[in-house]
Amino acid sequence: MAKFELNVNGKAATVTADDPQMPLLYALRNDLDLHGPRFGCGLGQCGACTVHVDGKPVRSRQTPIGNVAGKRILTLEGLGTPAQPHPLQQAFIDEQAVQCGYCVNGMIMQAKALLEDLQFSRSAVTSVDWKSYPILTFPDVPEVVMDLIDRPRERPWGAGEPTAAVVPSAIANAIYDALGVRLRSVPFTPDKVLAALKTA
């Protein structure tokens, strides 16, 4: 067993683990009781497990605990409080942009990193690596096949609501709240955001 000294949300924490390759996500959720970051796809693609390490967004499911000892770790819980939420958290609340809420951690933590990297000069974005901040677009959404079964006495378990129809409007509202520009067509691309900022 090894002990790992962490700095999480500005507080010192010690986590004991058998393996330094144990994902940071497991330590945050299981040992430190921080449930903002979540296990999503397990591949680092969906972003539900996103946290900041030394100010940069990382996927905590893919980040070994041994790699973050002594570094500053920020989770969703460290952004604000229920009484005083971070402006991004408040924007998501105001726009009711959370849908089921499962992956909102990744949206907020990735958006925070993007907004911190933006630098403006005369209302134009002058420095940001847009490729580091992927925005989900309809071509990125896998094709969904639904089988409807004629069983009137049974509930359609798993059908749910199509999130692809709701997510773009939530993202558009969050972009508006953060940057003051309204995007009205998908896919949302860096070029569209820059063009909207230039004409704002």
Burial 28-64 (b: 16+ CB within 10 A, else e): bbebbebebbbebeeebebbbbbbbbeeebbbbbebb
Residue range(s) in the chain whose domain bears CATH number 3.10.20.30: 2-78
Percentage of residues in the chain having pLDDT higher than 90? 36
Strand partners, 11: 8
Max CA separation in the chain (angstroms): 62
Give the CA dihedral 30, 100, 167, 160, nearest 10 degrees.
120
User: For the ranges 90-104, 107-121, 139-153, which has the lowest average pLDDT?
Assistant: 139-153
Nearest Cα to Cα of residue 47 among 79, 25, 80, 22? 25
Q: How far is CA 1 from the centre of its chain?
A: 32
Mean pLDDT of 173-193: 78
Mean pLDDT of 130-140: 54
Beta-strand relationship, 2-8 and 72-74: parallel
pLDDT, tens digit, 9 for 90 and up, residues 112-125: 888 887 766 666 66
User: For the ranges 38-52, 155-169, 183-197, which has the lowest average pLDDT?
Assistant: 155-169
DSSP for the chain, please give it.
Answer: -EEEEEEETTEEEEEEES-TTSBHHHIIIIIS---SS---SSSSSS-TTEEEETTEEEETTTSBGGGSTTSEEE-GGGT--SSS--HHHHHHHHTTTTTTSTTHHHHHHHHHHHHHH--EETTEE----GGGS----GGGSPP--------TTS--TT----HHHHHHHHHHHHHHHHHS----SSSP-HHHHHHHHHH-
The answer, yes or no, to whether residue 141 has pLDDT greater than 60, is no
Give whichever of 15-19, 41-45, 95-99 has the largest mean pLDDT.
15-19
Percentage of residues in the chain having pLDDT higher than 70? 74
Q: Which residue has the higher pLDDT, 140 or 175?
A: 175
Nearest Cα to Cα of residue 178 among 200, 148, 163? 200
CATH of 2-78, one of 3.40.50.2000, 3.40.1280.10, 1.10.540.10, 3.10.20.30: 3.10.20.30
